[in-house]
Structure 1
Amino acid sequence: MDLSGDLLSKAPPEGGLTTGAVARLLGVAPTTLRSWDRRYGLGPAAREDGRHRRWTAADIAALRAMCRLTSAGLPPAEAARTVLAGEAPAPVAPGRASRAPVPLPAGRARRECRGLARAAARLDGRTMDELLTGALDRYGLPAAWDEVIMPVLHAVGRRWESAGERYIEVEHLLSWHVSGALRRVPAQPPSPSSGAGLSLLACVPGETHSLALEALAATLAHRGLPVSMFGAALPVEALVEAVRRTGPSAVVLWAQSPDTAAGATVDRVEAVEWGVRGARRRPAVLVAGPGWAGRRPPKTRHLSGLAHAVDVLATVPAR
Structure 2
Amino acid sequence: MNRPDKVEADKPGAGVDLLPERYVSTQQVAEALGVSVTTIKRWVDQGILPAQRTVGGHRKLPLGEILRLVRQGVLPQPNLSVLLGTTVETCSSDTQLLARQIRQAALRQDGALLRTLIRGAYTQGLSMAQLADEVIVPLMHAVGHGWESGTLDVMQEHRITQEVAAVLYELRELLRPPSDRYRPRAIGGAPEHDHYLLPTLLAQLTLFDCGWNAINLGPHTPVSAFQAAVEELRPRLVWLSATHLVDAESFLAEFNPQARAWQRQGIVIVVGGQALTQDIRNRLVYTSYGDGFQQLAALVQSLEPHPGLPRRGRPPQDRP
TM-score range, shorter chain: 0.5 to 0.7
How many Å apart are 1:298 and its aligned residue? 4.8
Q: Residue by residue, what CA displacement relative to the aligned partner does 1:190-222 show, whole Å, maximum 9, x if unpaired?
A: 6755xx631111101111113122122112223
Give the match for residue 251 of structure 1: 238
Q: Quick check: 1:155 aligned with 2:129?
A: no
Give the one of 263, 267, 270 matched to 1:283. Answer: 267
CA–CA separation in structure 2 for the residues paired with 1:249 and 1:223: 14
Give the match for residue 45 of structure 1: none
Judging changes above 3 Å, is the alpha-carbon distance between structure 1 residues 267 and 120 closer, same or farther for their aligned structure 2 residues? same
Q: Quick check: 1:121 aligned with 2:110?
A: no
CA–CA separation in structure 2 for the residues paired with 1:117 and 1:273: 40
How many Å apart are 1:316 and its aligned residue? 4.4
Judging changes above 3 Å, is the alpha-carbon distance between structure 1 residues 136 and 282 closer, same or farther for their aligned structure 2 residues? same
CA–CA separation in structure 2 for the residues paired with 1:190 and 1:304: 30
CA–CA separation in structure 1 for the residues paired with 2:95 and 2:252: 34
Residues 204 and 234 in structure 1, CA contact (< 8 A), matched pair in contact too: yes
CA–CA separation in structure 2 for the residues paired with 1:299 and 1:133: 36
SS in 1 for 2:298: helix
Q: Which runs of 5+ in 2 are unaligned?
A: 1-15, 17-93, 308-320
Letter of the structure 2 residue corresponding to residue 184 of structure 1: E
How many Å apart are 1:131 and its aligned residue? 1.9
How many Å apart are 1:125 and its aligned residue? 1.9
Give the one of 277, 294, 299 matched to 1:293. Answer: 277
Structure number with the bigger relative contact order (C-alpha 8 A, sep ≥ 6) is 2
Give the one of 168, 173, 197 matched to 2:159. Answer: 173
TM-score, length-scaled by structure 2: 0.56
Give the match for residue 184 of structure 1: 170
Q: Residue by residue, what CA displacement relative to the aligned partner does 1:54-106 show, whole Å, maximum 9, x if unpaired?
A: xxxxxxxxxxxxxxxxxxxxxxxxxxxxxxxxxxxxxxxxxxxxxxxxxxxxx
Give the one of 224, 241, 252 matched to 1:263. Answer: 252
Aligned length: 204
How many Å apart are 1:312 and its aligned residue? 1.7
Matches within 5 A, 1:302-317: 302-316=289-303
CA–CA separation in structure 1 for the residues paired with 2:266 and 2:258: 9
SS in 2 for 1:133: helix
Q: Quick check: 1:230 aligned with 2:217?
A: yes
Q: Quick check: 1:131 aligned with 2:91?
A: no
Judging changes above 3 Å, is the alpha-carbon distance between structure 1 residues 254 and 305 closer, same or farther for their aligned structure 2 residues? same
Between the aligned residues of both structures, percent identity stands at 23
Judging changes above 3 Å, is the alpha-carbon distance between structure 1 residues 205 and 316 closer, same or farther for their aligned structure 2 residues? farther
CA–CA separation in structure 1 for the residues paired with 2:143 and 2:241: 21
SS in 2 for 1:231: strand
Q: Quick check: 1:144 aligned with 2:131?
A: yes
Q: Which has the larger radius of gyration?
A: 1
How many Å apart are 1:268 and its aligned residue? 4.2
Letter of the structure 1 residue corresponding to residue 96 of structure 2: R
Give the one of 175, 196, 218 matched to 1:209. Answer: 196
Judging changes above 3 Å, is the alpha-carbon distance between structure 1 residues 112 and 311 closer, same or farther for their aligned structure 2 residues? closer
Letter of the structure 1 residue corresponding to residue 252 of structure 2: G
TM-score, length-scaled by structure 1: 0.56
CA–CA separation in structure 2 for the residues paired with 1:228 and 1:116: 28
Give the match for residue 111 of structure 1: 97
Q: Residue by residue, what CA displacement relative to the aligned partner does 1:231-255 show, whole Å, maximum 9, x if unpaired?
A: 1011222222122211112111111
Judging changes above 3 Å, is the alpha-carbon distance between structure 1 residues 217 and 231 closer, same or farther for their aligned structure 2 residues? same
Residues 193 and 244 in structure 2, CA contact (< 8 A), matched pair in contact too: no
The Cα RMSD (Å) is 3.0
CA–CA separation in structure 2 for the residues paired with 1:245 and 1:299: 22
Residues 191 and 245 in structure 2, CA contact (< 8 A), matched pair in contact too: no
Q: Which runs of 5+ in 1 are unaligned?
A: 1-28, 30-107, 275-279
Q: Quick check: 1:239 aligned with 2:226?
A: yes
Judging changes above 3 Å, is the alpha-carbon distance between structure 1 residues 309 and 148 closer, same or farther for their aligned structure 2 residues? same
Judging changes above 3 Å, is the alpha-carbon distance between structure 1 residues 250 and 313 closer, same or farther for their aligned structure 2 residues? same
CA–CA separation in structure 1 for the residues paired with 2:179 and 2:291: 24
How many Å apart are 1:315 and its aligned residue? 4.2
SS in 1 for 2:221: coil
Residues 186 and 239 in structure 2, CA contact (< 8 A), matched pair in contact too: yes
Letter of the structure 2 residue corresponding to residue 221 of structure 1: F
Residues 206 and 297 in structure 2, CA contact (< 8 A), matched pair in contact too: yes
The runs of at least 4 consecutive aligned structure 1 residues that moved more than 3 Å come to 188-193, 258-262, 271-274, 314-318
Q: Residue by residue, what CA displacement relative to the aligned partner does 1:146-198 show, whole Å, maximum 9, x if unpaired?
A: 2222211111111112218x5222332222222222222322446755xx631
